[in-house]
Structure 1
Amino acid sequence: MTPVASNPEKSRPSAFWPLAAIIVPVTGLFARIEIRGAENLPREGAYVLAPNHNSEFDPVTVAVAVWRLGRAPRFMAKESLFKVPVLGAALRATGMVPVPRTSTSANQSMKAAQQIATDGRGVIVYPEGTLTRDPDLWPMRGKTGAVRLALAGDLPLIPMAQWGVQQILPRYGKLKFPRRSHVIVEFGPAMDLSEYAGSTSPAVLTSATDALMGRISQMLSGIRGLPAPVERWNPSQHGQNETGRLES
């Protein structure tokens, strides 16, 4: 990967520095991270980054990849985590974005997006909202938060696909160590959201989210060398077909 210039949010002293000094080398003991599509992550200004989620460990590798590209990784995090001693202080110091229990409202997203845009920061939002339930670890049906945030602030929405972290920490499994696995992190071009702009209709937001999840699945298919399922796992459904995949 060609070295890239750091954004001032990384090159200026901040709370990220001591954290990165610990996390980056420790992560290197577990993962050999290959970054693809580095040119698609904006070097400056605000953005929304939307990765797939198949391991409890992948926020670490996603954060390290973003840091290596010169940007400070900031996640949308549950508001309750900000109340935890020490952890809450670290989250606030690094500018993480709290997500209230009622963050599904458009007003909450608008306020968060406006603040992100004003500060020129990027934010990482898992559109699935939780670890995928798909038995083959494909992205499942997404929630509208990432799309809503991008539309509310007119921010670039960057799809991301990552694969390999599940070899380090399987979903709901135990950490495998010593083991250094090949992890691929791919940044896609920003989504064209122009056809969805100006609308807060649930149907429109769902359509835009489906397009986002389709792009992430397509990217992951390229990484894995396998076709993505035609229908995504729907966690709101409980009936299963003969293959064990939830019916959509």
Structure 2
Amino acid sequence: MFSAPTRPVSVKSEKTAIFRVLAFLILPTMTLLARYRLHDAHNVPATGAFVLSPNHYSNLDPIAIGVGMWKIGRMPRYMAKASLFRAPVLGWLMTKSGQVPVERASRTQRSGDPMKAVRQIAEQGLAVVVYPEGSLTREPNMWPMRGKYGAVRTALGAGIPLIPVASWGAQEILPRYSKRVSIFPRKTVHIRFGEPLDLSQFDGRPLDSRLLAEATEMLMAAITELLEELRGETAPRVRYNPADHGQNEMGRFE
């Protein structure tokens, strides 16, 4: 475990030159593709570290979350595929903006321990985005599936807020596993930020697998509830587990 930062980074200082370059490159296209409706953005702390945990249903939704965070004034750091860091220009921008490479193709993490990098970001008083599902949801109707422990492990270990968030609408621009972007008509992406989870019931307990499983299910339930509000629908009662359907959690399954 490590301590939460005592000197939180101010909102003004987070919009550094590198993030302004990213915004210059990304925002015009993303604004052309969609309108962004932010709900309950007051739940996002103005300063200090926190873990933001969204649902994952389109390869475009991380960028949509980034747009939402830019509008709020907090600059997100993501865990991203290490292959993106080897791309010309893009890799340089991602490295300079403090994104975290994750090497999935090998058991040896050539890019280092990603969770250690995430903890270091939190120690600096910054916002870090950790997708608890780890990959695009396998659930047939794109409801959140079973979560992994990274988000809650980071938040509990750091003693920082864990904020669930749900977005919906990015799949109309870029469907799950599709490479074809729909430009017209212009879409609407809704992002609803939940209240920080009350994790006080886990105080004083060791961060073992039982605790992490309980806290992760609490997180997934909160994300699902937010998504139900956005979709105006009710999610399946049983959380989808890819292993129960003979599916690998990495790569395509369709």
TM-score range, shorter-chain basis? 0.7 to 0.9
Letter in 2 for 1:140: M
Gaps of 5+ in 2: 1-9, 248-254
In the TM superposition, what is the alpha-carbon distance from 1:103 to its structure 2 partner?
9.9
Give, in angstroms, the shift of residue 221 of structure 1: 0.6
Cα distance 1:103–1:141, how it changes in 2: closer, same or farther (>3 A)? farther
Within 5 Å, give how 1:99-248 maps onto structure 2.
99=102, 108=113, 111-173=116-178, 174-197=180-203, 198-238=205-245
RMSD: 2.3
Q: Write the distance in 2 (CA, Å) between the matches of 1:222 and 1:127.
A: 20
| Cα distance in structure 1, aligned partners of 2:70 and 2:191 | 13
2:53 is aligned with 1:50: yes
CA contact (8 A) 1:157 1:191 kept: yes
Contact 1:127 1:143 in 2 (8 A): yes
**Secondary structure, counterpart of 1:227 in structure 2:** coil
State the identity as a percent: 47
**Aligned equivalents of 1:123, 1:207: Cα separation in 2:** 21
Task: Please identify, of 110-119 and 92-101, the stretch whose mean Cα deviation from structure 2 is larger.
Answer: 110-119
- Which aligned runs of 4 or more in structure 1 are off by greater than 6 angstroms? none
Q: Separation in 2 of the partners of 1:195 and 1:97?
A: 30
Give the unaligned 5+ runs of structure 1: 1-5, 241-248
Counterpart secondary structure, 2:26: helix
What secondary structure, in the 3-state scheme, does the structure 2 residue paired with 1:15 have?
A: helix
Q: How far apart in 2 are the matches of 1:113 and 1:150?
A: 10
Closer, same or farther: CA 74–9 of 1 in aligned 2, 3 Å? farther
Q: What CA distance in whole angstroms lies between the structure 2 residues aligned with 1:118 and 1:103?
A: 25
Task: Find the residue that maps to 1:185 and give its secondary structure.
Answer: strand
- Identify if the C-alpha distance between structure 1 residues 202 and 100 changes in structure 2 by more than 3 Å, giving closer, same or farther: farther
**Contact 1:31–1:182, Cα closer than 8 Å, also in 2:** yes
How high is the TM-score relative to the length of structure 2? 0.84
Summarize deviations over 1:185-207 as a string: whole Å, max 9, x none: 01101011122244221121011
* Pair 113,152 (structure 1): closer, same or farther in 2 beyond 3 Å: farther
Q: How many residues align?
A: 232
Question: 1:44-100, CA deviations, whole angstroms, 9 ceiling, x for partnerless residues?
Answer: 111100000111111111000001000112111234433444332111110112335
User: Which amino acid is 1:151 matched to?
Assistant: L
2:38 counterpart (14, 35, 39): 35
Deviation at 1:179, TM superposition (A): 2.8
Contact 1:55–1:166, Cα closer than 8 Å, also in 2: yes
Cα contact 2:52–2:127 (8 A) shared by 1: yes
Are residue 9 (structure 1) and residue 13 (structure 2) matched?
A: yes
Partner Cα distance (1:92, 1:206) in 2: 32
1:150 maps to a residue whose letter is A
